[in-house]
């Protein structure tokens, strides 16, 4: 291709293994860029634990507005034991997801035949979780009274709207429509969380009418965890709320060979703000800086980023390179950079 389109990327390497795996994701992005006629212009943001210790800032609004001007965001990982739990998660990661209206948190799960699963007989697993990203118990509504006394009370409020539920449900149906098996499973807990649960259930029932080809079923979240270990191949597209999606996607990653391979996109389908791509794994401070982290999840997140930018072929080049690399993994230890180099080389070839 001769038209050399330039995309701007905001890069937030973050904490722990975040910077290492981000380096490899960018390496692989660059490797495919040239032959797909694009360039990526990067701006790095030093947000995370170090910045918070130095300045007390998690994500200043001015910086958020700068980040917003980019075509997409690549994020490594956020969180460090030296920072009180919640400060960076709420003040940085969730602030990005909420402010940039990432209402589709997309998390594909696939078993690579050569990668071990903790399950004895996982079967052919290839599903995607569409996790709502801007509502539910994640919104930070709640509080505490008389903290530290025997009379303390702490609340967390899950807020769910027809507006918020319908848009993510429609997105999930559209994704199911584009997949060969055309199956959608709603996961909630509508026998206990009846108000939110019934809103979700009614919304799925309503939107279903516009997608007559899709086979729809419903599972309580507890039952869904059972199926994820006894028959994960039954799933095609799962749509669920923010908290249940968090739980199910870690479990899904675990049964498909581990959190080292699980990619995600925090997507704003309306494109009113840039979408953000990040591995599902956390900052893993225990192995940070040691070149021990598997950058595959970050690299696959970069592939999701390319797909979102309309560069499906480039995305496919990365996915194929990852598949080929995974198939040849022998169990011999490679550094983070070696894995990145190997995948970059294949993706460029």
Catalytic residues: 138, 189, 222, 246, 250
Q: What is the largest CA-CA distance in the chain?
A: 69
Nearest residue to 302 via CA among 44, 35, 98, 32 = 32
In the complex, what is the shortest distance from the CB of residue 202 to its own copies, in angstroms, rounded to a whole number?
7
Specify the residue, 34 or 154, whose C-beta has the smaller distance to its own copies.
154
148 phi/psi in degrees, rounded to 5: 85, 0
Question: How many residues lie near its own copies (CB under 8 A)?
Answer: 69
Q: Which does 57 bind (CB under 5 to 8 A by kind): ligand IPM, its own copies, none?
A: none
From residue 229 to residue 268, the character string flagging contacts with ligand IPM as x (rule: CB under 6 A) and all else as - is: -----------------x----------------------
Nearest residue to 46 via CA among 8, 97, 88 = 88
> For residues 60-92, b (16+ Cβ closer than 10 Å) or e, as one string?
eeebbeebeebbbbbbbbbbbeebeeeebbebb
Q: Does 23 bind its own copies (CB under 8 A)?
A: no
Looking at 30, 44, 166, 341, which residue binds its own copies (CB under 8 A)?
166
User: How much is the CA Rg of the chain, to the nearest whole Å?
Assistant: 20
Virtual torsion, Cα 259, 262, 266, 271, nearest 10 deg: 170
Looking at 42, 90, 179, 329, which residue binds its own copies (CB under 8 A)?
90
Looking at 1, 153, 154, 192, which residue binds ligand IPM (CB under 6 A)?
192
Nearest residue to 7 via CA among 33, 35, 41, 31 = 41
Which 209-228 residues touch ligand IPM, going by CB under 6 A?
222
C-alpha to C-alpha distance for 311 and 78, rounded to whole angstroms: 27
Helical axes 312-327 vs 336-348, angle rounded to 10°: 130
Q: Which does 202 bind (CB under 5 to 8 A by kind): ligand IPM, its own copies, none?
A: its own copies
β-pairing, 5-14 vs 38-44, is parallel
Question: How many residues lie near ligand IPM (CB under 6 A)?
Answer: 9
Footprint on this chain of its own copies (rule: CB under 8 A): 79, 85-86, 89-90, 94, 117-121, 137-138, 140, 142-144, 146-163, 166, 189-199, 201-202, 221-223, 225-226, 228-230, 243, 246-247, 249-251, 253-255, 258-259, 282
Residues lying near ligand IPM in the complex (CB under 6 A) are found at 79, 89, 93, 191-192, 222, 246, 280, 282
Per the annotation, binding residues are 97, 107, 131, 222, 246, 250, 282-294
């Amino acid at each position: 291709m001769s038209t050399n389109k330039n995309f701007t990327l905001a890069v937030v390497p973050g904490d722990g293994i975040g910077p290492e795996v981000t380096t490899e994701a960018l390496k692989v992005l660059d490797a495919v860029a040239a032959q797909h006629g694009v360039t990526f212009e990067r701006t790095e943001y030093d947000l995370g634990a170090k910045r918070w210790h130095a300045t007390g800032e998690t994500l200043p609004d001015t910086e958020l507005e700068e980040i917003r001007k980019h075509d997409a965001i690549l994020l490594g990982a956020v969180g460090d034991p030296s920072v009180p739990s919640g400060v960076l998660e709420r003040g940085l990661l969730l602030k990005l997801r909420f402010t940039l209206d990432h209402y589709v948190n997309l998390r594909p799960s696939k078993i690579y035949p050569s990668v071990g699963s903790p399950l004895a007989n996982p079967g052919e697993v290839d599903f995607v979780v569409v996790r709502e990203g801007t509502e539910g118990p994640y919104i930070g509504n709640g509080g505490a009274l008389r903290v530290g006394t025997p009379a303390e009370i702490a609340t967390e409020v899950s807020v769910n709207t027809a507006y918020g539920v319908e848009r993510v449900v429609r997105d999930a149906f559209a994704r199911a429509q584009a997949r060969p098996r055309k199956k959608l499973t709603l996961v909630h807990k509508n026998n206990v969380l009846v108000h939110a649960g019934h809103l979700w259930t009614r919304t799925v029932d309503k939107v279903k009418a516009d997608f007559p080809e899709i086979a729809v079923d419903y599972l309580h979240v507890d039952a869904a965890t059972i199926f994820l270990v006894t028959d994960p191949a039954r799933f095609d597209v799962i749509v669920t709320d923010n908290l249940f999606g968090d739980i199910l996607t870690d479990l899904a990653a675990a049964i498909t060979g581990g959190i080292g391979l699980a990619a995600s996109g925090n997507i704003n389908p309306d494109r009113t703000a840039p979408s953000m791509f990040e591995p599902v794994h956390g900052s893993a401070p225990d192995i940070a800086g040691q070149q021990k982290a598997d950058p595959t999840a970050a690299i696959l997140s970069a592939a999701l980023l390319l797909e979102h930018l309309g560069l499906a072929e480039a995305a496919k080049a990365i996915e194929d390179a990852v598949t080929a690399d995974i198939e040849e993994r022998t169990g011999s230890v490679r550094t983070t950079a070696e894995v990145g180099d190997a995948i970059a080389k294949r993706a460029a070839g």
